Chain A
Amino acid sequence: MTKLDSKIPEGPLAEKWTNFRNKMKLVSPANKKKLDIIVVGTGIAGAPAAASLAELGYNVKAFCFQDSSRRAHSVAAQGGINATKNYRNDGDSVYRLFYDMIKGGDYRAREANVYRAAEVSNAIIDQLTAQGVPFAREYGGSLTTRSFGGVQVSRTFYAQGQTGQQVLLGSYSALKRMIGKGKVKMYTRRQMLEVVVKDGKAQGIITRNLVTGELERHSAHAVVLATGGYGTIYYLSTLAVGSNGSAAWAAHRKGAFFANPSFVQIHPTCIPQLSDFQSKLTLMSESLRNDGRIWVPKNKDEKRAPKDIPEEDRDYYLERRYPAFGNLVPRDVASRAAKERCDAGYGVGETGQAVYLDFKHAIEAQGAKTIGDKYGNLFDLYEKITGESPFETPMRIYPAGHYTMGGLWVDYKLMTTIPGLFAIGEANFSDHGANRLGASSLMQGAGDGYFILPNTIGDYLADEIKKPKPPTDAEEFEQAEKEAKEKLEKLLNVDGNETAASYHKRLGKIMWDHCGMARSEEGLKQAAKEVKELKEEFWKNVKVPGTMNELNQELEKAVRVADFFDLSQLMIRDALNRKESCGAHYREEYQTEGGEAKRNDKDYMYVSAWEYKGEDQEPVLHQEKLSFEFVEVKERSYK
């Protein structure tokens, strides 16, 4: 049985990463040329990883399902990217960012990894700026910052409300450079279907060419998954429609443990659902909470337009409940508070499933121009979707599925429980515990991709230098391709009556209702039953038109939905197992008198890492116990 070993280096927290690098095995430049690395996914973790590994001299093959690596959904991150530059002289430090992330994650993340993420944050800003990323600047020419939720310093670097786009394009340009030099071979329009494990090590992948339909075998000395999160499990989420959990699930089926699958961040500020046909929800950056104030009417039967409701009839419930952090409480807290008000009948808009985010006071105090400079493109985005201008009337917002803290279990080297298989960025579970703080996903992805993985992967590859690249006609490749083909055939052969998307939508509703912002034992058990039934129906009644040997978007979708069924069952199991509330995992049975998440550190201060045991077999739970040597574990309070 695989035993969990997080391989945390010895020494004081601040010296662990340095110690690791001082002692890690290196691969000489001459040997790097002989080693091949596969990187799947080219977002803010994968693109920098592929580029940086190629710069080091490795032969890199990079894969993405889009037609260009510039389109990975990191492109949609809006608000910013954290770093501990302390340009504001406001008391920031590596320790402070580390502490904020540990506390924000409700003491369910691994100290050493989080500290390292904070440690490399400054170098990311340096790197991106050097690439030509136009971060916001002061008139004096220096970079400026803004505040984000859950912290009391201003450490978020940004490019209007399009930070993710600018940051991703910086990394994309580094990748393009290495592709142009012939050091990275880029495979676009590929769906990864299987990880190939040979001699106990990850040595390749099976992909489907989405244009020709051909199944392809790719071998390498190591495989890196940078395939993002699985928040689209809810169907409606802030993610791209194509974002999926299939690569992570394929790795899980082959032996990679899945950690904390039920830890999903529900983002508090999204444009509410407007119609039943809706295919996605759009995020409104958390940065808006710097200047926007969140409120609902004090009266349940309020009929007046928001701008006609006087101050005394407004309930600024975040400021009321959390005077210290006010509108800048962390995302999980803000989301639950919105749900609480809406469930209590104070919600606004046609559905009653929305709250106001109001810029009236900010515009009065700072002027419309200043507010426009800060948030102009977000206001435009809002107006394009809703037809209303936030300059004139408050935005209506509601929480939506956004980010998965859970993901593939990795050790300090970012290696999964399959030797040679690494997971970086949102695809791993490593740095955010039970809740992620704003502007730390770009930071973690880029940190993993630029600075951490390119070091740690060498420590593994140093032992592989004598081994030739496995031939793709090996039995294991044969077998993996066969499994992939059988699954596709099975989906095509059902020939039922309903589309894959219709099942996805129904699955999403079950998960949102019972395994979303609030969970209960009863609800989760109900969800488990409903998902099982729906999964059975899916395999009897899904309709996938066309064939395997052509561009077939319905087949691509069906593969994703089929995997979401399996993954949702694991999520529910994990949520049921964790009989406590922590961060975004809010079990209604476990709350404080004030309605906050109530942890149970005695029994649950661990990472749950699930081992796959086969189709419809019970997975096995492994526990990685967490110990906190460098922070005091406290009740998380933002009051």
Chain B
Amino acid sequence: MKVKLKIWRQPNAKAKGKFEKYELDGINTEMSFLEMLDALNTKLIKEGKDPVAYEHDCREGICGSCGLFINGRPHGPGEEIATCQLHMRAFKDGQTITIEPWRGKPFPVIKDLIVDRKAFEKIMEAGGFVSVETGAAPDPNTIPVKKNKSDKAFDAGVCIGCGACVAACKNSSAMLFVAAKVSQLALLPQGKPEAKRRALNMVAKMDELGFGSCTNTGACEAECPKGISLEHIARLNKEYLKASFTEEKD
């Protein structure tokens, strides 16, 4: 099959970007979307042109490296997939495909389709952990955990940190990302002692870094490659409110 590509090109963080158009023939429908981009880059390199920079690594939807805004959707058409799990069979022969980086102030472009997601790291550093040092842990079966709570914690814990939730949100809110971690740890007894501090600190950091507010549109949930539910945002709100009223200062 043949595709027409419209790709955001930007040589570095300071440069002004623009869309470039490319035509690519000989695409097999079994190819993954990234393999299609590999083919484009091979062509560009052979023509002596600068290949398109994009991020990827595991290519099986779990590392969270890849994240492209394809035809107006984070990770492109398809439900609960990362960009690397998108296949060319999702497109029609001759279709125009527009490819952009994540947009949003907290994720500045580094080059072409690569953005800087350091803001997520800073949020995690603010509280996305249980403070237990190596060697200080008891046998797990001394603390029983209800299966449904543990399963829910897992459902939140599957976040791959790709940033699709922010890219999907009209306010560039990181609520689903923050909620996934706060909720996972609040559901488990191991996370309880720090639950209040965690909610307050992570939310404060998120606000400080320029992520927008949540207005409950649900766009994040709709585009999350791991199907993380809005229920976790509800739990974050509950945890945050509770903490705001009751957390004692250190």
Contact = CB atoms under 8 A, between A and B. Distances in A.
Interface of A: 48, 51-52, 55, 66-68, 70-73, 75-76, 87, 122-123, 125-127, 129-143, 159-160, 162, 164-166, 169, 172-174, 176-177, 179-180, 186, 188, 211, 240-242, 274-275, 277-280, 282-283, 380-381, 384-385, 387, 450-451, 454, 497, 499, 501-502, 543, 545-546, 550-551, 553-554
B35 A277 contact: yes
Given A130-B137, A140-B144, A275-B28, 8 more contacts: A68-B64, A127-B135, A141-B145, A143-B140, A159-B154, A165-B62, A176-B128, A279-B38
B132 A131 contact: yes
B154 A125 contact: no
A403 B130 CA distance: 31
Nearest to A275: B30
B137 A126 contact: yes
Given A66-B57, A132-B185, A381-B60, A138 B147 contact: yes
Interface string B98-132: 00000000000011001011101100111011111
Interface stretch (B16-24, B46-54, B209-217, B229-237): B46-54
B56 A274 contact: no
Contacts of A126: 137-140
B61 to A, nearest CB: 7
Interface in B10-37: 11-12, 28, 30-32, 34-35
A454 B134 contact: yes
B243 interface: no
A70 B12 CA distance: 25
Given A66-B63, A73-B63, A384-B85, A180 B32 contact: no
Contacts of B55: 67
Per DSSP, chain B at the interface is loop
B77 interface: no
B130 A240 contact: no
Contacts of A71: 57-58, 63-65, 161
A76 B154 contact: no
B2 to A, nearest CB: 15
A176 B134 contact: no
B130 A554 contact: no
Nearest to B144: A141
Contact of B62 (A76, A172, A279, A545): A76
B35 A68 contact: no
A277 B38 contact: yes
A55 B140 contact: no
Contact of B31 (A130, A275, A280): A275
Contacts of A122: 139
A141 B147 contact: yes
B62 A173 contact: no
Contacts of A546: 50
Contact of B132 (A48, A130, A241): A130
A156 B83 CA distance: 31
Given A132-B190, A176-B129, A277-B31, A142 B144 contact: yes
A450 B45 contact: no
B174 interface: no
A240 B144 contact: no
A55 B147 contact: no
A520 B153 CA distance: 50
A140 B140 CA distance: 13
A191 to B, nearest CB: 13
Contacts of B53: 551, 553
Contacts of B32: 279
B12 A554 contact: no
A176 B184 contact: no
Interface centre among B41, B57, B160 (most CB of A within 10 A): B57
A277 B59 contact: no
20 contacts: A52-B133, A71-B58, A73-B58, A75-B63, A76-B58, A122-B139, A126-B139, A130-B137, A130-B140, A132-B184, A134-B184, A135-B140, A142-B140, A142-B144, A166-B154, A169-B157, A275-B30, A546-B50, A550-B12, A554-B45
B136 A242 contact: no
Given A55-B134, A67-B65, A132-B188, A551 B129 contact: no
A240 B57 contact: yes
B190 A131 contact: yes
B150 interface: yes
B97 to A, nearest CB: 17
Contacts of B57: 66, 71, 73, 240-242
B140 A132 contact: no
